[in-house]
């Protein structure tokens, strides 16, 4: 029996942080290094940034389309963040989880709360904190994707968002990117190995002890 084929249930890895902390950067690195991990691509009513691709970073929708998805119960969670609506399409998550793949959610604390209520067993949540408010501001400015008033709004919202670290399973401070990334990677690696996520270990035990034919 191939150890890689042991039946397992995927991890729902929720990554939240104030805007500009480095969530997208760490998500990108995780996705590049973990073949079994896929990003939950959210729907949003926010305007597309120059560097973003529709369908890859987000599904960009009108408010009317968003309301329809929400009313059809097609969203696993949704929230208003920085004056725009964001939501997680249910179908892609159900499919990935059903196939034993891990799913990464780059969502805010309101979405994190909803997923933790709905799927506590599957969710592993990580809150990223910046090293200082000055560094958070300079990362938002350096990213150069948002207008000055948008940056100001995101900094003001950070003050509301930061206290929610207490609701998360893990907290990682993103001062040095390499270290923060490897800490998040370690969390994912360890959580994947939790006994409860591998129902196939019962069959594997039978195989090891020569009690069946697989
Ligand atoms: P978020 O997704 O949380 O809004 P991003 O991943 O877009 O944040 O990061 C914001 C900016 O900060 C980007 O320009 C990114 O390259 C930079 N950045 C991310 N992590 C670090 C770090 N540890 N040190 C310095 N700059 C960082
Ligand atoms: P941004 O506009 O910078 O891409 O994202 C703004 C905030 O919205 C971030 O905190 C991001 O994690 C959050 N976000 C993105 N997609 C979703 C989603 O589907 N649901 C929720 N609740 N938040 C989201």
The 10s digit of each residue's pLDDT in 97-147 is 989 999 999 999 999 999 999 999 999 999 999 999 999 999 998 887 778
**Ligand 2 contacts CB of residue 161 (under 6 A):** no
Q: Could you state, in order of their start, the residue ranges of all structural domains in the chain? A: 3-37+102-208
Compute the radius of gyration of the chain from its Cα atoms.
19
- CA 58 → CA 35, 47, 87, 214, distances in Å? 20, 10, 10, 42
CATH architecture assigned to 3-37+102-208: 3-Layer(aba) Sandwich (3.40)
**Ligand 1 contacts CB of residue 130 (under 6 A):** no
Query: Which of 14, 16, 108 has most ligand 2 atoms within 8 Å of its beta carbon, as the pocket-test mutant?
Result: 108
CA gap 48, 68 in Å, rounded: 20
- How many Å lie between the centroid of ligand 2 and the Cα of residue 84? 9
- The pTM (predicted TM-score) of the whole model is 0.95
* 188-212 confidence digits (pLDDT tens): 999 999 999 999 999 999 999 998 6
């Amino acid at each position: 029996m191939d150890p890689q084929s042991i039946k397992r249930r995927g991890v729902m890895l929720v990554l939240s942080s104030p805007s500009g902390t480095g969530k997208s950067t760490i998500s990108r690195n995780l996705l590049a290094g973990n073949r079994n991990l896929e990003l939950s691509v959210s729907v949003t009513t926010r305007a597309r940034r120059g560097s973003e691709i529709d369908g890859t970073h987000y599904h960009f929708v009108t408010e009317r389309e968003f309301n329809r998805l929400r009313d059809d119960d097609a969203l696993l969670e949704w929230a208003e963040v920085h004056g725009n609506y964001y939501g997680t399409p249910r179908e892609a998550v159900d499919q990935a989880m059903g196939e034993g793949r891990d799913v990464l959610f780059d969502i805010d604390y309101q979405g994190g709360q909803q997923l933790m209520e709905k799927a506590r067993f599957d969710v592993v949540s990580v809150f990223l904190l910046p090293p200082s408010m000055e560094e958070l501001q300079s990362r938002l400015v350096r990213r150069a994707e948002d207008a000055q008033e948008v940056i100001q709004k995101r900094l003001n919202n950070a003050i509301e968002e930061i206290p929610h670290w207490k609701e998360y399973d893990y907290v990682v401070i993103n001062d040095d990117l390499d270290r923060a990334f490897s800490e998040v990677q370690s969390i994912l690696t360890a959580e994947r190995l939790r006994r409860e996520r591998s129902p196939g270990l019962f069959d594997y035990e039978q195989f090891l002890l020569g009690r069946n034919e697989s």
